[in-house]
Amino acid sequence: MIDDDLFVLFDGIESDSIDDAISAGWTEIGESEVQSAIEQFESDIPEDCGAWGADGGFDIGPMNDDTTDAIVETDGIFSPIFRIFDDFWYDLNGQTDIVTKHHFSADGNFDAKNNVIVEGNVADDIKYIDQQSHGSCSLMAQEQFVERYTGQPIPEDYLEWRAEKWGVYDPDIGTIFSGQTMVLDHFNIPYERHYFCDLEDLDGALQSDNDAIIGVDAREFYDDPSIPPGSGHAVAVVGRGIDPVTHEVKGYYVTDSNFAEAAHFVDAERLENAWSGLSDMIVIPNKSLV
């Protein structure tokens, strides 16, 4: 249960209408087959599962089997759009791609572990990624940017409580599509959401001093066949590593709420294979640009 102090501290913040944010999220997609999938999603929800409320949240009431089936049992292009970020945690012991602040030079411009020049504020950015303890990876991926902008860490339990009130999150299931930007909306963090992207689009965003939240297939991202296929996970790409000899991109720095205050260094092929669903990215500008 969220306590009164947290409610007063965080829920009194002025924000744009969540209704408008959701509407914008639907219309920005623009692809006819995607819009058709959205309509099918709405029509498939059992009548007793609730409806979109005046506050923009989908009030589904208690998560029951009918509700879960309506959200999860999908096919074709519909599935990745409303794909739930799974209740997924990973034992990172033995993960060799992890870097921490100790691997960077004092100015943050060189990564000695991977022998690359660092593009982005990675050494500083990683201090904002906190540990998830439930299926809250999408909420925690957004939280790091709220903390960057406001200087105030937002507790996981508050985010979970608020997202459950909006009707977009269940700790045993995860966060549905419309909840993947609601924390940013709530705290007035600027962002743009783009769909059907590739690494060239991601490179363009990073080179313009932005970072990007993306959804990955955890099985591919962790290169672990023991993870069930389609296990969704939200991460943020916060920089690139450039080979000092060839000047080519050697890898990408990815923050992950399964490992606090650190980042993965992921090569382009692995990242591209893991990037799942609509290959969408939520692009957040560096605070200095705002």
Is 233 a residue whose pLDDT tops 60? Answer: yes
Q: Domain extents for the chain? A: 4-289
Instruction: Please say whether the beta carbons of 205 and 283 come within 8 A.
Output: yes
Question: What pairs with residue 256 in β-bridges?
Answer: 259
Looking at domain 4-289, its CATH architecture is Alpha-Beta Complex (3.90)
Quote the tokens at residue 146.
Answer: 């709220």
At residue 130, the pLDDT reads 93
Residue 146's alpha-carbon distances to 159, 185, 189, 287, in angstroms, are 11, 10, 7, 10
Structure confidence at residue 80 (pLDDT):
29
Q: Whose CA is closest to 218, among 191, 258, 190?
A: 258
Single-letter code of the amino acid located at 208: S
What is the pLDDT of the chain when averaged over all its residues?
75
82-127 pLDDT, tens digit each: 333 333 444 444 567 899 999 999 999 999 999 999 999 999 999 9
> Is this structure's pTM higher than 0.85?
no
Q: Measured between alpha carbons, how far is 66 from 144 in angstroms, rounded to an integer?
A: 33
* Sign for the pseudo-dihedral over CA of 146, 150, 156, 162: negative
